[in-house]
Amino acid sequence: MTSQAPSTTLMAMDPNTQREQRRRERRQQISSLQIVFVSILAIGMLLAINFSARIRRGQQIEELREQIQATIDVEMEINEDLRRELDYVSSDDYVEQWAHREGKMVRLGEKLVIPVPGERIATPTPDRPPVIIEESTSTQSQEEENWRLWWQLFFDGDPPEWLD
């Protein structure tokens, strides 16, 4: 059992082979500089992703704030209109106007005139004679009566004799 150390094996080889062997070992080893570079790159990527997500959430919050502000502005205008209307309705001018127009009250020296509509003569409409339907036991006569009934409903009269 003979085991030789790697350095003794390298010494037995020629110098060109030794250089090639050392280069292969160096290439296969990851240097600490490479590990630091990959770590910094990974942390930078995580920070960039997190930062972009925060920016998007901030944009969404800003859009929501603008929508709420627009709603508040509309509600403030409605509130102002209602306050003006309340002030007017609470005033004496409105009470006097309502009493004069809706309450049918008059001021001193005025007379209340209520127009009475004239009688209208209604135009008489001719009454149709009632349609008498007799019960029959046969289906043929019932179908015959049905089409006559429909004819009378559509055309306000009896069907012509040539259809009988």
Query: Which tens digit of pLDDT belongs to each residue from 93-145?
Result: 898 888 888 888 888 888 877 777 777 776 766 677 766 665 555 565 666 67
In a domain? residue 130? no
Comparing CA positions, the residue from 159, 162, 143, 140 lying closest to residue 151 is 159
Comparing CA positions, the residue from 116, 94, 97 lying closest to residue 105 is 97
Mean pLDDT of the chain: 80
Show Cβ contacts of residue 7 under 8 Å, excluding neighbours closer than 6 positions. none
Cα distances (angstroms) measured from residue 36 to each of 10, 24, 51, 106, 131: 31, 22, 22, 97, 105
In a domain? residue 68? yes
In a domain? residue 109? no
**Model-wide pTM > 0.75:** no
Q: How many structural domains comprise the chain?
A: 1
In a domain? residue 123? no
In a domain? residue 54? yes
Domain of 74 in residue numbering reads as 30-101
In a domain? residue 75? yes
User: What does the pLDDT look like over 43-100, one tens digit per residue?
Assistant: 999 999 999 999 999 999 999 999 999 999 999 999 999 999 999 999 988 988 888 8
